[in-house]
Amino acid sequence: MPPALELTGRTFGRLVAVERSHKDATGAWMWLCRCGCARYVHVRGATLTAGRASACSSCAASMRARTHGETGSPLYQRWRAMLDRCENSHHRAWRDYGGRGIAVCPRWRSYELFAADMGSTFRPDLELDRIDTDGDYEPRNCRWISHAAQQSNKRNNHVIEWRGHVKTVTQWGSTLGIPSNTLVHRLRRGWSVDRALTTGASRDVLLELANEAAS
């Protein structure tokens, strides 16, 4: 593998390379870049130097969609929000999406292709939902569901870090032997995470976690 390029401070269109960030799944270096719109995005160094990225995906898409007059459409807003959750580390929900490694598939970085795949089943009262919540945004993992159904899923998929482990409410429920709806209700009533996860939990599992923490 050739040595990583030094791109700090260099400008690529609207993007300025801030710092080398991490390697992606293929071992290529990703750079944290700041776009002219103040969003932060991660872009492959090779993509930058090849001139194939000159703005964050939202700005790039806005420029394209503006020519199609679509930026205000509800479908477009769903698409743009999806990209923001996964690629803008300053987005309020980034921690649960991009920050957990959830990505948008290459095909759907194009609004036109996203609209081609998902447009026919869309209605403005529906939200974009991932079937496997650890999976990416891609055609086989996505569907439209009602806002109410999504809120219920979100509570079950809420990520909790406890005793050195990061799991969703559903995963904690099955690990500890507590129904996930019970956990959701406890947390909504303001129980501490510690009390919510230990009350009625499997003694064996709690002992295991304690031993792990001690070793």
Binding site for Zn ion (CB under 5 A): 35, 37, 39, 56, 59
Closest distance to Zn ion from the beta carbon of 55 (Å): 5
What's at 54, amino acid-wise? S
Closest distance to Zn ion from the beta carbon of 84 (Å): 10
Contact 7, 49 (CB under 8 A): yes
Instruction: Indicate the residue among 39 and 130 with the shorter CB distance to Zn ion.
Output: 39
Euclidean distance between CA atoms 157 and 133, whole angstroms: 7
Instruction: Indicate the residue among 35 and 65 with the shorter CB distance to Zn ion.
Output: 35
Closest distance to Zn ion from the beta carbon of 145 (Å): 29
Instruction: Indicate the residue among 59 and 196 with the shorter CB distance to Zn ion.
Output: 59
Q: In what order do the strands lie in the sheet with 29-34?
A: 11-12, 15-23, 29-34, 40-44
Contact 57, 43 (CB under 8 A): no
Q: How would you classify residue 187: left for phi > 0, otherwise alpha for psi between -120 and 50, otherwise beta? A: alpha
Instruction: Indicate the residue among 34 and 154 with the shorter CB distance to Zn ion.
Output: 34
Q: Which two tokens stand for residue 82?
A: 């999806």
Closest distance to Zn ion from the beta carbon of 71 (Å): 13
